[in-house]
Structure 1
Amino acid sequence: MGSTAVQLASKINMGWNIGNTLEAIGGETAWGNPKVTNDLIKAVKQAGFNAIRIPCSWNQYSDKATAKIQDAWLNRVKEVVQYCVNNDVYVILNIHWDGGWLENNCTADKKDSVNDKQKAFWEQIATTFRDFDQHVLFASANEPAVNNADQMDVLLSYHQTFVNAVRSTGGRNRYRVLVIQGPSTDITKTNSLMSSLPADRTTNRMMAEVHYYNPYQFCLMDADQSWGNMWYYWGQNYHSTTDATRNATSGEESDLNKLFVLMKKQFTDKGIPVIVGEFDAMRRSNLTGSDLQLHLDSRAYFLKYVVKQAKTNGLLPFLWDTGNGVINRMNNTVFDQKELDSLRSGAGL
């Protein structure tokens, strides 16, 4: 457990998410992915990722009266974490959306009840994973919905409860690196609203987390709206001359650069590493011919650019993958070699 957060960050090349799996409501396979195996983790490691973020649900496996998490579920998550550690892969284990009990309730009226559950869950999670070494990091939440200073104060109380609960379990958890999510994990909101991190009795063992799906119309938007169209083409050299309404008009290279520099100045320059816990851009399957090729080239460039600029500014990028992304989880092979090559190039691998 000897590494500070900065030293630990220097060991992480590039991360990957086991998305839509251990956080799936209804069970690990409920959202269409197979159970996680050691062979999957080996494939991810071989592809060049040496860190894995494990989005995880706990509430659905808990007693609603006592907040006791089922031993079977704690043991299953522990098994998956062990796969990662056995393969020399760093792990970020969180409480994900989990039905929204924390994320949707950063409000004064819910503050006490949410803190009670946050404390109960993290005492159990931290105790279960206490003997793992510094390969395992804990993350307080996922994308807590916060839009103003009052909500930010409530969120900080949830993060403080997380820190206190983990540290109270002792052992290696006294020194474990902990990851604190910004408001909505949005860079602009984090820069303006999160002026401080929770207090910690152990120094230099904290990271911040943001996510990056900007611009939304290129990364996530799946249907045209009255206020704007989906964008298929991103990057100054990847605009279409025949389909101009689908070209990004904001959120391109210069905007990304400015946002990542904000995180560098706010955190990394002060010795607090930043996790970009999720980033991705939709692969548009409705295109054909030269339009499809331009889109795929543009998407590959976007992914490479995000990773490269993240690394340049001391941020640690973790690709969001829901099972149909860079890795085919049905047979543990590379699904999209172009995507993987772009990511590896951005990371200098």
Structure 2
Amino acid sequence: MFVIQADSTVHEINNCKTLWGVGSIRPDDDRLTWRGEAPIVQHGWVEVGIGFTAVSNGSATISFSRNAWKDGLEIKNLKGRHVKIEGDGLERKLTLCAGRQSAISFQVRAKSIPGAVEMPRLPNTGTPAHKAVDSFKRGVNLGNSLEVPPDENWKEEYTAADMKAIKQEGFDHVRIPCAWHHHTGKEPNFKIKRDFFKQVNSLVTAAINNNLAVIVNWHHFDDFMADPKTHTDQLIKGWEQIAEYFAEHSGVIAFELLNEPCDNAETFVMNGIYARLIKVIRQKAPDNTLFIGPGSWNSVMELENLWLPGNESNIVVTVHDYEPFLYTHQGASWNSPQTDTTNICFPGPPAKPVTPAHEYTGSDTWVANWFDAYNTLPAEWNPNGIFALDRSMKIAVEWSNHFGRPVHVSEWGCIADVCPKSRAVYHAVKRRFLEDMQLPWTLWSWKSNFRYWDTEEKGPMPGLRHALFP
């Protein structure tokens, strides 16, 4: 998608890496030419940052390819650190400084294609979904509870006292992750066990009694992610029962059809499955708001591939955002070894460089590159800086405005075992960015390893109340 080409006076360009934005960059044999790839969408500006060091002073160009898109690309906000940039269009001249840790950032999107078929737009913001989302502005997940497999012992318990505290803190809704697949009978009916319905309903009732709206979802359906075709009937039969059970609470209970589709449950696959689910649910619960998310773990970058029925206006689109990931997930065993490094503070750079826990190579080279940039780059360019928090969410807003679909950030947050002051600053800045962009949110989580609430002290973790409810 882009090529940096230096002249021979530069000798070599070294340590070239992506600083932010999803993508990759690789050198030719002479290390004077570096070729980069980054995702491009039509309905949002993707921001990419590149870092590098020139061996000698000299000139170079950065050029952007039109090949992948019929009508080309649009580039804006191209700027540099220790790099002079001249020109316009899809090729710019660069003047490089020897031995300096240099950087370039830019925003890119595909030009719209006249006559292209796209998902139907909703004409205004007065839809049932837009009205419903007013009840889901600031929420919290009841994580690590009803999504835990029955034979495992990491389950958190939630009670009516939790719901009372959640409301008193200032939250207006809860999201209840549920692993329904652990509690269904055999095919073809896949009958959900009444005991599990009672467990879910107990939390739903406690929430409603405390004037909290509720999102009930289907969580951690790993077998479906591996083989959607085999398990689609189970998902459909399950939602038919869930919708019927909770239909009477249409004003306060929303249904999120599947948490974080991933692996073989790609967005293109889910589009057809979502259409079938919507038809089945609407026969039982015509008025409940539906939350639907794209693939790649509800990635903003997958919104471009999401297709929703044009005649269904009571859908809120849900995305997740844990960026900067190595900060928010530091020490998280389930993402080891990438997240093994701890003592990362927000915002960067740190007062003292952080040494990564491992020598990250191969497919994990991005981790080493991230720490190099985190340790050395100033706030404006730092991948763990304040400006790193809103880049992907800007794409969500642009997509939402184009298609007339409200977007909700149903998971975000930071692991609890970090510097309390740093964690409070992260939550305050992230919350402000989301609300400035008018994006409603649900924090992960009330309890567990990303907890807002300290169960021993019976109060919020240090600094979080002021961070979220100033």
TM superposition score normalised by structure 2: 0.62
Match of 1:156 in 2: 271
Gaps of at least 5 residues in structure 2 are 1-125, 356-370, 376-381
Do structure 1's residue 96 and structure 2's residue 229 form an aligned pair? no
Equivalent residue of 1:8, what SS? helix
Q: Closer, same or farther in 2 for the Cα pair 1:63/1:226, shift >3 Å?
A: closer
Aligned equivalents of 1:133 and 1:330: distance in 2? 36
Is contact 2:322-2:412 (8 Å) kept?
yes
Q: Any residues of structure 2 matched to 1:103-252 within 5 Å, and which?
A: 103-105=225-227, 110-111=228-229, 113-146=230-263, 151-169=266-284, 173-194=285-306, 196-197=307-308, 199=309, 201=311, 203-222=312-331, 225=337, 229-230=341-342, 232-235=344-347, 239-245=349-355, 247=374, 249-252=382-385
Is contact 2:329-2:414 (8 Å) kept?
yes
State, as a whole percentage, how many aligned pairs show the same letter: 22
Aligned equivalents of 1:210 and 1:260: distance in 2? 9
Higher fraction of helix: 1
**Aligned-partner residue type, residue 102 of structure 1:** F
Equivalent residue of 2:174, what SS? strand
Structure of larger gyration radius = 2
Is contact 2:293-2:319 (8 Å) kept?
yes
Is contact 1:217-1:231 (8 Å) kept?
no
Deviation sequence 1:2-27 (CA, Å, 0-9, x none)? 98111122233311000000111117
Is contact 1:273-1:314 (8 Å) kept?
no
Aligned equivalents of 1:84 and 1:26: distance in 2? 23
The structure showing larger relative contact order (alpha-carbon pairs under 8 Å, at least 6 residues apart) is: 1
Shift of 1:251: 5.0
Shift of 1:312: 1.7
Q: 1:280 aligns with which of 402, 413, 421?
A: 413
Q: How many pairs are equivalent?
A: 316
Is contact 1:47-1:334 (8 Å) kept?
no
Q: Closer, same or farther in 2 for the Cα pair 1:244/1:76, shift >3 Å?
A: closer
Do structure 1's residue 266 and structure 2's residue 375 form an aligned pair? no
Match of 1:289 in 2: none
Match of 1:43 in 2: 165
Match of 2:7 in 1: none
Is contact 1:177-1:207 (8 Å) kept?
yes
Aligned equivalents of 2:338 and 2:321: distance in 1? 24
Taking only aligned residues, the RMSD between alpha carbons, in angstroms, comes to 2.7
Deviation sequence 1:142-177 (CA, Å, 0-9, x none)? 111158xx93221112222221121011xxx21211
Shift of 1:243: 3.6
Equivalent residue of 2:409, what SS? strand
Aligned equivalents of 2:130 and 2:339: distance in 1? 42
Is contact 2:257-2:291 (8 Å) kept?
yes
Q: 1:257 aligns with which of 340, 365, 390?
A: 390
